[in-house]
């Protein structure tokens, strides 16, 4: 079948299938297009444009999936923060234990960092100093130590 026999939607479908599988044969099987045809298309100048469009389509789909996952996880996390973690007792009863301070600290730290990233705020501070500044600081410390130590005078 010639290239012109396949409409743009079918080419996009094949390109998305190739993105997902990484194989022209598997993509072809998913789309009912010969793998050889997909390999031939990959050599055409228009393939790059369709590939970019396919990547955009898949990225939007994944973005929606990730957003849903984030919302679901956040809802469950909030429930755990409020009620605690479920723990089964020796009698088989489920009780909720408050979340440990260490876990709360980790959760809070990650949430604060991610919020800062979303707001384009810094998540860490990097201090850059020159060698001269380092040597000056060391010299200042040595002088301070020298002043603090009692002097031993021999007679």
Calpha distance 90→107 (Å, rounded): 29
31, 29, 48, 33: which is closest to 3 by C-alpha? 33
Round to whole Å and give the CA distance between 141 and 131. Answer: 15
CA atoms within 13 A of residue 118's CA, in its CB half-sphere: 6
Q: What is the pLDDT of residues 108-118, one digit of tens each?
A: 999 888 888 88
Write down the domain spans for the chain: 1-66
Helix (H) or strand (E) segment spanning residue 138? helix 131-148
Per residue in 68-110, pLDDT (tens digit) is: 998 999 999 999 999 999 999 999 999 999 999 999 999 999 9
Q: Check pLDDT > 90 for residue 39.
A: yes
**pTM of the predicted structure, to 2 decimals:** 0.55
Q: Mean pLDDT over all residues of the chain?
A: 88
pLDDT value at 136 more than 60: yes
Q: What is the DSSP letter of 32?
A: T
Cα separation of 52 and 34, whole Å? 22
Please report the pLDDT score of residue 150 as a whole number.
67
């Amino acid at each position: 079948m010639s290239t012109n026999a396949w409409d743009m939607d079918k080419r996009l479908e094949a390109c998305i299938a190739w993105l997902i599988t990484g194989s022209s044969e598997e993509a072809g099987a998913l789309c009912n297009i010969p793998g050889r045809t997909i390999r031939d298309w990959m050599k055409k100048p228009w393939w790059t444009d369709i590939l970019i469009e396919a990547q955009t389509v898949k990225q939007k789909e994944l973005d929606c999936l990730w957003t849903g996952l984030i919302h679901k996880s956040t809802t469950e996390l909030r429930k755990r923060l409020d009620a605690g973690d479920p723990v089964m007792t020796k009698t088989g009863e489920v009780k909720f234990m408050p979340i440990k301070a260490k876990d709360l600290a980790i959760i809070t730290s990650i949430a604060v960092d991610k919020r800062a990233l979303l707001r384009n705020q810094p998540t860490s501070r990097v201090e850059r100093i020159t060698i001269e500044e380092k040597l000056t600081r060391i010299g200042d410390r040595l002088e301070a130590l020298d002043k603090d130590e009692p002097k031993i005078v021999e007679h």
